[in-house]
A and B are shown apart, each in its own frame.
Chain A
Amino acid sequence: MQLNINGKTVEADAAPDTPLLWVLRDTLGMTGTKFGCGMAQCGACTVHVNGTPARSCVTPVSALAGKKITTIEGLSANGDHPLQKAWVAEGVPQCGYCQSGQIMTAAALLKKTPKPTRKQIVDAMAGNICRCGTYNQIVRAIERAATAKA
C-alpha cells in the first residue's frame, strides 16, 4: 500500500493489520519512532497523522490511506525545530528513548497552543512516560521553545 510519510509517498508491503509503528521501523527502516508498550499507554511511538498526535503502535496501516504522516525524522529539515533546540539547550535527554515521542507530542501542543501554561503543558504531556524522570526538564524545554523568537 501507499503511505504519505514526511511529505513523500512511499510504497510499503505489509499486512493491513500491521501497526504503523512496525511498518515504519521494520519495513521502512525509520527507527526514530520507538516501541514502548504496544497499547497506547506510554507515548514513545507518537507520530502526527494529519497534524494530530497518534499512537503508531495501535494504528493499523490500513487506516492511513491518503493521510499525512509525520515522524520525528520529518519534524524539521535539520533537527532544528525549536523544540529540538530547546531539548538540547535544557539537556533534557537521559537515555533518550522516550524523547522522540515527547517531542512529537509537544510539537502538536505548540502548534495548537503556541503559548501554553504550565498546566496545559503537563496535561498535554501526561500520556508520555519518561522512566528516567526528565519530566521537569521537558516542561522547561517546552517553555523555552514557546518563548523562543522565531
Chain B
Amino acid sequence: MKKPITTLALSRRQFLLGSGGLAIGVAFGLPALTASRKAQAQAAGLAPNQWVSIATDGTVTILSPAAEMGQGTMTAMPLCLAEDLDADWSKVRVVQSGHNPKLFGNKLFNGIMATGASRTTRGYYELLRLAGAQTRLILVNAAAEKWGVPSAEVTTENGVAMHKASNRSMGYGEIAGFATVPATLPAVTPAMLRKPADFKLIGRNVARIDLADKTRGAARYGIDMRLDGMLHGAVLRPPVQKDKVASVDDSGAKAVKGFIKTVPLPWGVGVLADSTWAARKARDALKVTWANEAPAKNYDSAAVGRDYVAAAADLDLSKAGVEVEKHGSAPQNIKSAARVLKADFIAEHTAHMCLEPMNATARFADDKLEIWSPTQSPSIATFASAAVLKIPPANITVHNTLLGGGFGRRVDADFTLDAALLARAADGKPVKVTWTREDDVRNDKFRPLVGQHLEVGLDANNNIVGWHHRFAGESIYARANPGAFKAAGGKDAPFHEGAEFLYDIKDHLIEFARQERGIDVGFWRAVGGGYAKHAVETMIDEVAALAKADPVEFRLRLLAKHPRAQAVIREVAQMADWNRKRPAGRALGIAYSDMWETHIAEVVEVSLNRKTGAITVHKVWAAFDTGVAVLPQNCVTQVEGGIVYGLSGALKEQVTFKGGVPQQSNFHDYPVLRMNEVPPIEVKILVTDNPPGGVGECGLPPVAPAIANAVAKLTGKRLRHLPFNPARVKAALTA
C-alpha cells in the first residue's frame, strides 16, 4: 500500500539557499557562486527547489519526472505542482527532468526513475503538490515582508499574490525578482493542501500540452534524434535468443555503399553506416554462423504451454513453487468441500508492438557516455550501460525523449545498450540504432507464456470455502529485477499480480511455480493482470452460474465491504442495461478489476459465429473509480486505450515459437486491432476524493474475462486459452 508522506522535510541541502539577500537560482549541488553569478541567477528568478523555477517575467518552469509515452504525464504531474502553487497555467513551461534519482526518483520504485506499473501519479501526486504549496508559501512570505503586512493577510490567485486590505498585488514573476529562499523553510503538510472541492486545475480537464506538436509531425521521439556527424547502426541478433556468434563473414556488408564498420557485440553483430538504410542493408548482408548453443533452442510454445499447465496443476509444492500469498487454509477446505471446481488456463506469449520501433542514440567520448533514449527508465538504462561498458554511472547522462508507445517494453535497456556499445566503436561520433519491426517483434521481451490452475471449493450452499490459484511460467523479475526476485524469496510480483482480490473469500492461496526455459519475458501492459484476472473473473462467473446467481449480484455480494467496487459494478450494469434481454445470438459478460488502486468494471456484448469460431464484440461499457483524476478526460481515454489493447490481446495476439524461433515478425502475421474492428466503447469515470490510482493499465484486465463470460452465457463453454482466436474458440465449442 501507498504510504502517505506526512510532511515535506526538504532540507537546506535540497532546497536552495538564499544568502546576502540574493536567491541562488541554480541547480542542486553546485558550489557557492561568485557575486556576479549570484546577480545573474537573481535576474533569472527564483528556483526554490528541484521541481520549479519562477522567472522574473512570470514564466513558471516545472520539471516532469516521468517518461511521456502517451499517458499524459508531462501535463498531469506539473499540473499537480501548479495546483498548490496557485500558478497561472498559461505561464507554465514543462521541461523533462534530467536523470537524477536523488532529486526526481519515484518512491514507489525505491527511488529510481522509472515509468510503469501505473505508479507515476501514485508516486508523485502528493510530493509535487507539497512542493507547489511550499513554493507558494515562500512567495507569499516574501510579498508580505515587502508590503510589511502579516503573511496571513496575503492571498494568491492564478499566479498573483494579493493584499486585499491595501489593494496591492504582485505577480509571481515580480516576487521572484527579489524573493529569497529562507534558511528555514515553511513547513507544509498534506492537511494544508487544497481540498478537492477547491481545485482549480486538477480534475478540470486542462488540455494536454503535447497535442498540437503531435498533429504536426513536430513531436520528437527517440527515433527522430539527429546530431552533427551522427552515424547509423543496425544489429543482427541470433534467431534463437542468447545464441552465440560462431563466425562472421562481412564481405557482403562491406560492399554496401555507406558501410563504415562491423562491430562484434556480446549479443550479436552490429554495423555502422552513414544512413539508416545503408546500416540495414549492410546488416542484412552479414553472413553469421551461430554456435547453436541457445538454452531455448528446443523451445516450442505449444508443447511448453502444455508443460506449464501440468506444472500449475501439480499441487505438490515440494516439486515446484513458492507460496505467494496465503490467507486461511484453502487446500484443507477444498479437500473437505462439498464440491470442487477446477480449471486450467493458458496465455500465449504476446508482443508489445510499440508503434515506434526500439531505438536509441548515444555518444561515447573520454569515458563518458551520453544517451538519448525513448526509455521508460533512465535509471535502468544508466545502470545497464555502466555494467556493460564498465564505466561509473556518474559518467553517464541519459536524456529521456518522447516515447512512441511503451506498454512496458521500454523498461528494458537492450535497445539502449545497442546504441551505447556501437557508440563506443564510433570514435566519438554519435550513433543512432534503429531496429526494424522484425527486430522489434523477434527480440521483444514477450509477455510470459503462462499456465494457471484454479481449484475452488464450495460448501453445500455454493459458498466459496477455499480458492487455490497456481501459476507456472518463466519469471519476469528473475531476469529484469533479480534483486527484488531474490529479496522476495522467489515471488515474482508482476508475474502473478491480479491474483489477489477484494472478494470476501477468506481462504485464499496463491502459488508460483517458476519455469526456466531461457526465454526473456517482460512487462506487457497490465502484466499479470492480463491473464490472472482472466482466470479469477471467469471462475467467479462459473461459481455464480452454478449457484444460479446473477453475475452482477454475485459480485456485489462478495464485495459488500467495498462500496467503491460495488459502485463501479452497479454503474456499468446500468450503462449496459444489464437486465435487458438481448437479441438471439447476443450476450453480455461482466468482469471487475481492483488493480493499481483503481476499481473498474466492464461489460461487453458479443456474438459468435459458431462455424468459424469468430467472436464479434459489439460494444464495451466501462465504469471506473480511480479517486482524484488529475485529467479526467485523459483518464477516460487511457482506460479506453487499455480496453482496445485488451481486446486486441484477447482476440488476436500471440507469438508462437518453434525451435526457439519466434514465428511472427511484423503486423501481417502479428495482427493487432484496427479501426474497422473496434466496437463502440463507452467509458464513465466516477470521481471520488480518494488518492489517485493508476489508469494506464486498468482498462485491460477485465476485457478477456468479460468476453469469455459472455461466450459462456451463449454457449455454456468456458474460454480458458488466450487469445480467443477463431480456431481456438471452435476447438472449445466442440470440446
Binds A, one of B100-108, B163-171, B247-255, B664-672: B664-672
Interface residues as binary, A83-96 with B (CB distance below 8 Å gives 1, 0 otherwise):
11001100111111
User: Which of B223, B404, B640 is the one whose CB lies under 8 Å from A133?
Assistant: B640
| B659-708 residues at the A interface, CB under 8 angstroms | 666-668, 672-676, 678, 680-681
User: Which of B71, B212, B643, B644 is the one whose CB lies under 8 Å from A79?
Assistant: B212
Shortest CB-to-CB span from B100 to chain A, Å, is 25
User: Which of B257, B644, B645 is the one whose CB lies under 8 Å from A15?
Assistant: B257
Which single residue of chain A is at the shortest CB-CB distance from B631?
A: A91
Task: Indicate if A117 sits at the interface (CB-CB under 8 A).
Answer: no
Which single residue of chain B is at the shortest CB-CB distance from A72?
A: B217
Task: Indicate if B259 sits at the interface (CB-CB under 8 A).
Answer: no
A34-B404, A95-B404 known; A131 vs B353 contact (CB < 8 Å): yes
Residues of chain B with a CB closer than 8 A to A93's CB: 70, 208, 210-211, 214-215
Task: Indicate if A44 sits at the interface (CB-CB under 8 A).
Answer: yes
Residues of chain A with a CB closer than 8 A to B644's CB: 132-133, 135
A19-B218 Cα distance, complex, nearest whole Å:
21
Task: Indicate if B317 sits at the interface (CB-CB under 8 A).
Answer: no
A44-B355, A97-B404, A126-B676 known; A71 vs B217 contact (CB < 8 Å): yes
A81-B455 Cα distance, complex, nearest whole Å:
58
Shortest CB-to-CB span from A27 to chain B, Å, is 7
A31-B436 Cα distance, complex, nearest whole Å:
17
A145-B503 Cα distance, complex, nearest whole Å:
46
A87-B355 Cα distance, complex, nearest whole Å:
19
**Contact assessment for B437 and A25 in the assembled complex, using a CB-CB cutoff below 8 Å:** no
A15-B257, A36-B437, A126-B676 known; A41 vs B211 contact (CB < 8 Å): no
A32-B216, A41-B667, A131-B405 known; A96 vs B70 contact (CB < 8 Å): yes
Interface residues as binary, B88-103 with A (CB distance below 8 Å gives 1, 0 otherwise):
0000000000000000
User: Which of B208, B355, B680 is the one whose CB lies under 8 Å from A91?
Assistant: B208
**Contact assessment for A39 and B277 in the assembled complex, using a CB-CB cutoff below 8 Å:** no
Task: Indicate if B385 sits at the interface (CB-CB under 8 A).
Answer: no
**Contact assessment for B356 and A39 in the assembled complex, using a CB-CB cutoff below 8 Å:** no
Residues of chain B with a CB closer than 8 A to A15's CB: 257, 277-278
Q: How many A-B residue pairs have CB under 8 A?
A: 179
Residues of chain A with a CB closer than 8 A to B215's CB: 79, 83-84, 87-88, 92-93, 96, 99, 103
Residues of chain A with a CB closer than 8 A to B676's CB: 122-123, 125-126
A36-B354 Cα distance, complex, nearest whole Å:
9
**Contact assessment for B277 and A18 in the assembled complex, using a CB-CB cutoff below 8 Å:** yes
Interface residues as binary, A9-49 with B (CB distance below 8 Å gives 1, 0 otherwise):
00000110011001001110111111111110110100000
Residues of chain B with a CB closer than 8 A to A18's CB: 275, 277
Which single residue of chain A is at the shortest CB-CB distance from B644?
A: A133
A35-B434, A94-B637, A95-B69 known; A131 vs B217 contact (CB < 8 Å): no
**Contact assessment for A32 and B667 in the assembled complex, using a CB-CB cutoff below 8 Å:** no
| B55-112 residues at the A interface, CB under 8 angstroms | 69-72
Residues of chain A with a CB closer than 8 A to B211's CB: 87-88, 91-93
Residue from B216, B434, B641 having most chain A Cβ neighbours under 10 A: B216
Known contacts A41-B667, A95-B402, A134-B641; can you find 20 more A-B pairs with CB under 8 A? A15-B277, A31-B217, A33-B217, A34-B221, A35-B356, A71-B217, A84-B212, A87-B215, A91-B207, A91-B633, A91-B637, A95-B70, A96-B70, A96-B210, A129-B667, A130-B675, A131-B645, A131-B672, A133-B644, A135-B678
Q: Can you list 25 pairs linking A and B with CB atoms under 8 Å apart?
A: A15-B277, A25-B224, A35-B434, A38-B437, A39-B667, A41-B668, A83-B215, A87-B211, A88-B211, A91-B207, A91-B637, A93-B210, A95-B402, A95-B404, A96-B404, A97-B354, A97-B356, A99-B214, A128-B675, A130-B675, A133-B641, A133-B643, A136-B678, A136-B680, A139-B675
